[in-house]
Amino acid sequence: MFLENIAPFFDKQIEFFITNYKNYIESLKIEELSPKLVKELNELIHDIDDAVDFENKLVAVEKLTKYFQDSKNLTGLLEGEFNEEKETFLTLTNEIKVDFQSMDNLINLILAKLREMKVN
């Protein structure tokens, strides 16, 4: 039931957030500030985009979320003086991290309820 009826909604949400995030990375010119950071982000995002099913996509989203949780790494990769683009990038990154964490929690709650009801 979940994969047929509910997963497509979350799949579209993930796609929406990832598309917007990629656009922000480009518009803020983060690659000019840190090519290494953008390379790492692109690899993680590529895993999400290329996931063949929802379960693999969710695992890839969880990997990206864990990457975002290492704020010292993120700020360390943004070399040089702190500026508005970096601040905006870090704010947007934190927002998408919270969105994905909330989505993951909600999915787990839904799955737990479905298991209680013994619905697949």
Confidence (pLDDT) at 108: 87
pLDDT tens by residue, 7-44 = 899 999 999 999 999 999 999 989 988 999 999 999 99
Residue 61: exposure state from Cβ atoms within 10 A (0-12, 13-18, ≥19): buried
Note down the domain range covering 12: 2-116
Q: For the chain, how many structural domains are there in total?
A: 1
Rounded Cα–Cα distance for residues 11 and 30 (Å): 26
What are the tokens at 42?
Answer: 């692109």
User: Does 103 score more than 90 pLDDT?
Assistant: yes
Q: pLDDT, tens digit, for every residue of 61-74?
A: 999 999 999 988 88
Which pLDDT score, from 0 to 100, does residue 99 have? 95
